[in-house]
Structure 1
Amino acid sequence: MPDNLPMEFNGFPRLSGHQLLSLEGPDAAAFAHAQFSSDVTALPVRHWQWSAWLSAKGRTIAVFQLIRVDVDTVLLVLADGDADAIASQLQRFVFRRKVRIAVRNDLIVAGSFTAPDAASGAAIAVHGETLELDAGSDALPRTLRIAPAHADIGTDVAGVELAWRQSDLRYGVPRLDVPQREQWTPQQLGLDRLNGYSVKKGCYPGQEIVARTHFLGKAKRALQLLRVADGVVSGAQVQQNGAAIGTLASVAGDLALAVLPLEMAGDPLSVDGIAAVPLPLLEGLAR
């Protein structure tokens, strides 16, 4: 595929693989703060940030965009789906908190490879019932819109899912298929590049592992974007000089994010016996 991907689409094609999960109530922000890796209570209203939900062992279950819609509402944009399963698991931790967890099938997510009309950086814009997010940078403009299912946006367009997934990988946003969940720490997935976790806030699942890795400097692997052959799958081994040195965590067509050693030889890499070429990650998507 050419280096000028993603392709251009007219309007705002629907990203049908994205799902939405809302947390509503007086304790919504506090509950999200206690469960997720980012500093939710410090996030201003009508702003968004990258976040993750981790296992108790500090392994990443899901990476998502977290929006502070208003004082009592937090919205999660789950690019890799599984909203029903995540909602069910989160419900176990509600206890007496005043928070309602709901999968938002009444809303759709649509995306465009154009600059937003009004949103900028972490600040969202509200157009009637539609939320607009700046999901790109000058290097690769992107806009997300979240709207009621009846809204006049979000037509289905062939190829948009792959193009969006590839653009995520170019930015270093991990897209985790089911076999790759609970395999990687946030550091291994490069979530520090996205400001996707905090080592200063209070406890959350996996926080101790994340903090220990951060402060003791024990991270030995990092994310690398690779050009690979079409048809490779996540979980495939990256080889160098005949030995496996890493694993593909995310794949989209001929692009992949691999977890590789921070220190390794400069010799050629391969996946499934075919050359894999390192590519630079795009900057500018930290929020």
Structure 2
Amino acid sequence: MAILDKPGVVDAGCFALPDHAVISLEGRDALAFAQAQCMSDVAALADNGWQWSGWLTPKGRVIALFAVLRLGPEQVWMLVPDGDTEALAARLRGLVFRSKVKVEARPDLHVAGAFAAPEGARGAVLAGDAASGVELDLGDGTLPRRLRVSAVAAGPDPAAQARWHAFDLAHGWPRLPPSQTEAWTPQQLSLDRLKAYSVRKGCYPGQEIVARTHFLGKAKRGLVLFGAPVAPAAGSDVLGDGKPLGTVACSGDAAGSGFPAAALALAVLPLERDDSATLEADGRTLAVLPLRDGLAR
């Protein structure tokens, strides 16, 4: 059964992603508001297009990461993993002023995933609509994944949810816990790999810092994927030969990732470093792993 064939029925292959939620922007100025606040070039999206994005502080630090979905000329969704959408929506509403846009957290919408090819979505083009449900292609060209947002909740599957999380980490999509809010710049999280920010569009919070870092070549740290016997806590120091070298941004189980490790971690480290150093976090040895490609949109 196609994921969007019967809006009131859950596809048997889907499982709940309760750590994902939606914020909707609706109204005449929805696109303009999203363009002014998001770090990606939302104005470049056509209807039914989507892209990775985020919201920054004026100092260029990441408040939240999300996917931006353009459902129409007056309707934009932000698909937020790991964030408090009620609090985030409240902060965004404080910036509406006279704009004709309604910003709402949408607890009535449920997010589900499946390790299967999408029925209609392809790459950065979504399928469906707000009424029947929306489908995204979140595969990497080798391993298929589809994500659905609709009014119907899927059943829980903790093992599949952990595998989904591991896939994100393996491909360099940071799953930031609350402790890492406003800790990192887009460059430090290597979000250029996912085309998640723009250095050429007009003003947005943090744009000056992001553009200056890009054009002056001052990015000194970036994202590194590690394997570990146990997931180190976000915020833990990464030590190189016993000396502080970087910081863990997020971590989780390596379930189904195919890597020879029990856990994965994304850490921010200097771009220039001694690769022969013994690396550890939380007292456990880390092994550098290659970040996988294919998730850029």
Contact 2:15 2:161 in 1 (8 A): no
TM-score normalised according to structure 2 size:
0.90
> Is 1:272–2:282 an aligned residue pair?
yes
Out of 126, 142, 146, which is 1:143 matched to? 146
> Is 1:99–2:101 an aligned residue pair?
yes
Q: How far 1:158 moved relative to its partner? A: 2.3
Q: How far 1:139 moved relative to its partner? A: 3.1
C-alpha distance in 2 between matches for 1:185 and 1:145: 29
What amino acid is aligned across from residue 141 of structure 1 in structure 2?
Answer: P
Q: What SS does the aligned partner of 1:97 have? A: coil
CA RMSD of aligned residues (A): 1.4
Please name the residue that 1:261 is paired with: 270
Contact 1:20 1:103 in 2 (8 A): yes
Out of 128, 133, 136, which is 1:133 matched to? 136
> Is 1:225–2:235 an aligned residue pair?
no
Please name the residue that 1:168 is paired with: 168
Q: What SS does the aligned partner of 2:53 have? A: strand
Out of 275, 288, 294, which is 1:284 matched to? 294
Please name the residue that 1:5 is paired with: none
C-alpha distance in 1 between matches for 2:16 and 2:121: 19
C-alpha distance in 1 between matches for 2:284 and 2:142: 29
Q: What SS does the aligned partner of 1:41 have? A: helix
Q: How far 1:231 moved relative to its partner? A: 4.3
Contact 2:38 2:54 in 1 (8 A): yes
1:53-202 map, 5 Å: 53-126=55-128, 129-148=132-151, 151=152, 154-202=154-202
Q: How far 1:229 moved relative to its partner? A: 2.7
Contact 1:52 1:64 in 2 (8 A): yes
Residues 97-144 of structure 1 deviation map (CA, whole Å, 9 limit, x = unaligned): 000011111110000111211211000111760111001222332110
Contact 1:139 1:282 in 2 (8 A): no
Q: How far 1:159 moved relative to its partner? A: 2.2
Q: What SS does the aligned partner of 1:232 have? A: coil
Note the residue ranges of structure 2 that are not aligned, 5 or more in a row. Answer: 1-10, 254-262
C-alpha distance in 2 between matches for 1:177 and 1:157: 21
C-alpha distance in 2 between matches for 1:158 and 1:23: 30
TM-score normalised according to structure 1 size:
0.93
C-alpha distance in 1 between matches for 2:223 and 2:12: 32
Please name the residue that 1:236 is paired with: 236
Q: What SS does the aligned partner of 2:155 have? A: coil
Q: What SS does the aligned partner of 1:159 have? A: helix
Contact 1:47 1:122 in 2 (8 A): yes
Q: How far 1:89 moved relative to its partner? A: 0.4
Contact 1:15 1:160 in 2 (8 A): no
Please name the residue that 1:6 is paired with: none
What amino acid is aligned across from residue 120 of structure 1 in structure 2?
Answer: R
C-alpha distance in 2 between matches for 1:281 and 1:183: 21
Residues 58-85 of structure 1 deviation map (CA, whole Å, 9 limit, x = unaligned): 0001110110011100001111131011
Please name the residue that 2:23 is paired with: 21
- Give aligned pairs, total: 276
